[in-house]
Amino acid sequence: AKLAKPAAISACLEQTGHYSIAISKALHQHGIHALFLVNPRRIKAFGNQKLRRNKSDTADARLIARFLVAEQNDLTPWTPKTTENEQLTDLVRYTESITREIAKLKTKCEAAIDPIVLKSLSRRIKSEQKELAAIRLRINAIIKSSDTIRKSDQLIRSIPGIGEISSHLMLAEIPDLTHFSNARQLAAWAGVTPCHFVSGTSGRPTT
């Protein structure tokens, strides 16, 4: 059988972290540019709509293929991140990890009784906080070094209630903002688009 040329192939993957990114990079390098990474919630909702009953790797692959055929015109093709964007994602996710660790250590401090334990925990908290500050400086340096990222950062921070940390998180996790023509598209990509479910004529809708 004659294989289709890479440019004629479309591929769709569930966005499941570094595993899906590694596969996407490999496919992109081999010329498959009609490549789509989709929030798993969106594919699950599609499966529910189609009354999917089976759950297996084969069934999942078929469902994703059916989803791609039905929704491709409304999907945004995936493109590899720049080096700066990849660094930003890595650093921001690490700050989230450090922040959680600091919170755990503070909780342990509240429960600790022995002064030696308290001293040790306090020392670890200060060390983690110092590390966190250094990483955030690195994040800001990367943002300033890229005109595209810097402009996106300024745009995001113009939203009332969005500060430095929230902006960094959005820059790290959301692909190029220009891929979305409106807020609803972004919400759909994130899997948080409100949906109403009403049962009967007297039931109250739930979101």
| Domain end marker among 27, 48, 74 | 74
| Domain end marker among 16, 43, 74 | 74
Q: Distance (Å, rounded) from C-alpha 18 to C-alpha 30?
A: 19
Alpha helices in the chain, H assignment, sequence order: 18-29, 40-49, 57-71, 83-111, 115-145, 147-157, 164-173, 183-190
Give the helix/strand (H/E) hosting 191: none
Tens digits of per-residue pLDDT, 80-107?
Answer: 888 999 999 999 999 999 999 999 999 9
Distances, alpha carbon 189 to alpha carbons 57, 147, 185, 195, in Å: 23, 25, 6, 14
Query: pTM value?
Result: 0.71
What is the tally of structural domains in the chain? 2
Structural domain harbouring 31:
6-74
Q: Greater confidence, 177 or 21?
A: 21
Tens digits of per-residue pLDDT, 29-58?
Answer: 888 888 888 888 888 888 888 777 778 888
Per-residue pLDDT band at 114 (split at 50, 70, 90): very high
Q: Which residue has the tokens 């220009």?
A: 178
Distances, alpha carbon 175 to alpha carbons 45, 61, 76, 178, in Å: 22, 24, 10, 9
Q: Which pLDDT belongs to residue 30?
A: 86
Do 108 and 159 have their domain in common? Answer: yes
Tens digits of per-residue pLDDT, 123-173?
Answer: 999 999 999 999 999 999 999 999 999 999 999 999 999 999 999 999 998
Degrees to nearest 5, angle at CA 31 with 182 and 191? 30
Do 101 and 61 have their domain in common? Answer: no
Per-residue pLDDT band at 1 (split at 50, 70, 90): very low
Q: Work out the mean pLDDT of the chain and round it to a whole number.
A: 86
Q: Distance (Å, rounded) from C-alpha 73 to C-alpha 69?
A: 9
